[in-house]
Structure 1
């Protein structure tokens, strides 16, 4: 540290003591700094104060006066030297208070000061107080350049010290507010998740009854119009069930720590069974489902339910966004580490600008289902999240007007 004081040379011991205080910079620094500085200024009172909400707030004080100063006696801030120093925005040096324009101020009686020097402090980029020194003795020779330089230096150091404390306190306060808001948000999320669980659970039972009745009505349909209406009704009902299942899966992923239930099964037979579930949906759009397996040992150890949900979303998307009379190719290929399963369609493809949205929750792309099917925007988000739980990965290859290929990579085995 270079304490540069030009002009008259002060007592070297006093300078050394002040330098030690500045180097320590602890919670007692302000009082100790004022004590050391009072010696250099030949002052009986040193004060660091802030003016806030029409109050005179003492941050540090050192006094060798034979009486106690009651800073609260001055009710109006405009009656203080500190106020006028901040208004001037520069050093207020009064070597002879009685012969100055400020001799009428009530603080002259409170401090009994005959000489005063103060400089505005800057806190949060605003001049909000002073560091000042006063005495009951007049300074006939005024204040030296050395004292003015020292005061400017002290002003910088104290301003930085107060700013650090201010920002530390502000940060602590903001952290407390943020923690409180986070707790409130967490409570809101938990309540929302509980509500979602109740809604999903309570919707399933009546909808299942409605679905059962719709199939009974289908048996009594006597003409094509009735069959078509019931078919449309069942299609809508199937979508509602699918949406409920998607929301239930999403809610479980976000609310609970969903552990893997690992079991061993034949990956080829598993995919064939999943494709059969889509036979009606594919035939309704004259779409041909092709399956090809390049596997030496078709055994995998993973969570079958997670993988079933993944395959369901990928295959249903391929059918949903494919035009009529197209083909969808599903292939499984054994790799060194596991299996790659690809689902390739002949749909409209995905533009480069939409790749970043693919796996976002509730993402809606420009492409629309080709047979008035509904889309929740949750499918691919759920796919990616479930793949993380079984150490899988997914990649996409697509060209506009040339279809898309989604390939998932799975390890041979996953730990439970």
Structure 2
């Protein structure tokens, strides 16, 4: 199945050789499975969850629990039996029937992350107690919707599938008037009464307190097209590099970059500063420095007056990520002036510039990220695999990885330009081409 779900749960598949183990191993394996299910059940009963699904569940079918390997972490998927007369729908179509399962992913401290998986399908033969069907093994027949709801009842992921294949994110709309998700998306019927559950999508362009978007929410995919006016006209990539060089020459850029580099070196975490239009002195304004207290993510201050760019660091000296690319489109979609994201990593400064917002949004629509409740967005296979193929030829350094990403973005007319700040204080577009002899060379402006 597609990486859309596989990357979200990251399960490994057991080989058929397992079934040739001796009877004693089978018995030991069964005892271990029983123990795993028992541990999950005991923890859940001692740590009540606020998942709304349980309000409408008659029983949790622990006897039909499925044990999965979450990339070394243990995970349990267990069906829920809904109460008499209780139904739920992602869409207003009576032919759809909804089935629910709990997903418990075990943490290192033996606690669990708890989710509700909602399978919605028109297949009348769907058996929610079928142990051969799970979030990893959809087979070739499942058509409908898969929604993952977090413990706080917010939606982490929702997508449509056709014959077991991902076919698009759910609730996508190109109409600005229909992108507000503060509406009822699930209806629960108990007996003669139908009520609107509070399982709703937040508007994708709003932030939770502190400026953090819910994991899995990607404004620019399901958010409004032009909430802050029509986008600026497309700019040539080489002209965009000249523009970025002008930004780099400003004292406000230098002070923000130095502050972030120093903070990252001191605590090993990511930090972010937003740049705003210059004040009377001509220096770009700087927001207060932000950190989420971890090395793999930081929120962006989007409320700074005149915000047009943000700088953040990668303390582990990793290359530009897929999350950085999608976030750049997100920021530009929410604010058409916010076209540039600067990244400090490996002692160098790189830039992601959305030079054609319409193309960037079309790219995101065609290649939506693989979303996960617990991890940053990842490129789908159609983008990930070509990048991997190029890096396997030119290496996996920060420069090589950036060049590979840029090359694949160019091949798909993504409207996004990647750049690097040189020792002369100017940004240079990163673009490579494959030569007839199989080597790669950079293409100057």
TM range (shorter): under 0.3
TM-score by length of 1: 0.21
Select the structure that is richer in helix. 1
Larger RCO (CA within 8 A; separation ≥ 6) = 2
Which has the higher Rg, Structure 1 or Structure 2?
A: 1
